[in-house]
């Protein structure tokens, strides 16, 4: 029998500027600040998964590439993903 998703209370410290931005977003979307934080975290996790999958896709193309120009481009792209611009 599957276990239902149960809520866990967490305490998070953030800067006053960040808290104000969260409250502003929450007010705009007519959500509580808590619900807004949950949505932001969920979106961040999904974005991180997507970024990781994109990196693995590029790495696979890099390993299979034979054209030197494509290898250089894919290597540069992976470098930017790891180390930033």
Whether 7 maps to a domain, the answer reads no
How does residue 51 score in pLDDT terms, banded at 50, 70 and 90?
Answer: very high
DSSP character string of 17-46: HHHHHHHHHHHHHT--HHHHHHHHHHHHHH
pLDDT for position 7: 87
Whether 20 maps to a domain, the answer reads no
How does residue 53 score in pLDDT terms, banded at 50, 70 and 90?
Answer: very high
Q: What's the structural domain count of the chain? A: 1
Whether 60 maps to a domain, the answer reads yes
Whether 71 maps to a domain, the answer reads yes
Whether 28 maps to a domain, the answer reads no
- Asked whether the predicted pLDDT for residue 3 surpasses 70, the reply is no
Q: Do 55 and 78 form a contact (C-beta atoms < 8 A)?
A: yes
| Backbone φ, ψ for residue 65 (5° rounding) | -70, 145
Instruction: Print the domain residue range for 83.
Output: 41-85
Count how many residues are written for the chain.
85
3-state DSSP helix/strand/coil % of the chain, to nearest 5: 75, 0, 25
């Amino acid at each position: 029998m599957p276990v239902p998703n149960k809520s866990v209370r967490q305490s998070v410290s953030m800067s006053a500027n960040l808290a104000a931005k969260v409250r502003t977003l929450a007010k705009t979307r007519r959500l509580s600040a808590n619900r807004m934080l949950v949505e932001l975290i969920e979106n961040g996790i999904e974005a991180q998964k997507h970024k990781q999958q994109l990196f693995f896709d590029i790495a696979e193309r890099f390993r299979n590439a034979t054209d030197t120009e494509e290898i250089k481009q894919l290597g540069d792209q992976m470098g930017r993903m790891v180390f930033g611009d």
